[in-house]
Amino acid sequence: MSDVQGDEAAVREWREAAGDDGLVLLDGFHALKHALRFGADVRMVVADEPDAVRALARELAPDVEADVARLVRGAALKTLLPRVHPTGVAALAVRPDRARGLAGLGRMPRPAPVVVLDNPRNLGNVGAVVRLAAGFGATGVVTRGDLDPWHPNVVRAGAGLHYATTVERITLDTLPPGPLYALDPEGEYIRSLTLPDDALLAFGSERHGISPELRARADHLVSLPMRPQVSSYNLATSVAMTLFHWGGPRETGQEVVQ
């Protein structure tokens, strides 16, 4: 009896909260684990089988097991979500404050580059880039254009790692400071360059490449190694190669897993 009442309360609270623009859907255990690990303010966690999610946390993420155990409540996910993640768990977390994010991106000296995506179109690509930026310890990912980098499908593709870096939408006027390296197949060969820690690393849209406005602002155009007759690489793989060339996490107090 009390379980059923608990479920009903959780369903009602989820429905009320889910319309709130300030909350972000975390779909699945992996996203929840990363969000908790990187300090997200997680407001609700619902699961078809809370005990199974507690067991998953014990097995895969003992560092956040206590948080998962405290937060998770039972609810039939298929009544709350259009698509239920195979791990049977979903959560709502607070979207970080935009002004604070922008202020952090503008702070110099900067210990690691900011990735700039110039009018990206593919939500999965943007999520993959956030995941890369988090893994490499980049300062952040900023996007120009109308795509919301916190769209639920971007957060899904980013595996909840939006909370491990800074992710914001910007305009040309609010582009963070720093030398601008725009990646373009016509640019200077990347292996002849060192990418500085305070760099802005800019990548063009999937269809049109770097926009004329951003190209005009670039201090360097940079190309990745590529055989003749191949036109270009995928956006997210280009970001991966460039961050790898920059160098990745340094000994800055963050533990580096090798």
Instruction: Give 23's strand partners.
Output: 94
Q: Supply the minimum distance, in Å, between the C-beta of residue 209 and ligand SAM.
A: 2
Q: Supply the minimum distance, in Å, between the C-beta of residue 121 and ligand SAM.
A: 10
* Cβ–Cβ under 8 Å, residues 96 and 28: no
Q: Supply the minimum distance, in Å, between the C-beta of residue 207 and ligand SAM.
A: 6
- Give the x/- contact pattern for ligand SAM in 183-222, rule: CB under 6 A: xxx-----------------xx-xx-xx------------
Q: Which is nearer to ligand SAM, 27 or 184 (CB)?
A: 184
- Measured between alpha carbons, how far is residue 38 from residues 32, 33, 110, 160 in Å? 10, 9, 20, 9
Of 53, 57, 15, 39, nearest to 93 by C-alpha is 39
Q: Supply the minimum distance, in Å, between the C-beta of residue 185 and ligand SAM.
A: 4
Give the whole-angstrom CA distance, residue 128 versus residue 156: 9
**Residue 236 binds to ligand SAM (criterion: CB under 6 A):** no
* Cβ–Cβ under 8 Å, residues 201 and 246: yes
Positions in 125-154 near ligand SAM (CB under 6 A): none
Segment contacting ligand SAM by CB under 6 A, of 20-28, 76-84, 153-161, 182-190: 182-190
Positions in 107-126 near ligand SAM (CB under 6 A): none
* Six-digit token string for 13: 């609270």
Q: Kindly state the DSSP code that residue 148 receives in the 8-state scheme.
A: -
Q: Kindly state the DSSP code that residue 228 receives in the 8-state scheme.
A: T
* Cβ–Cβ under 8 Å, residues 93 and 26: yes
Q: Which is nearer to ligand SAM, 56 or 183 (CB)?
A: 183
What is the binding site for ligand SAM (CB under 6 A)?
Answer: 183-185, 203-204, 206-207, 209-210, 223-224, 226, 232-235, 238
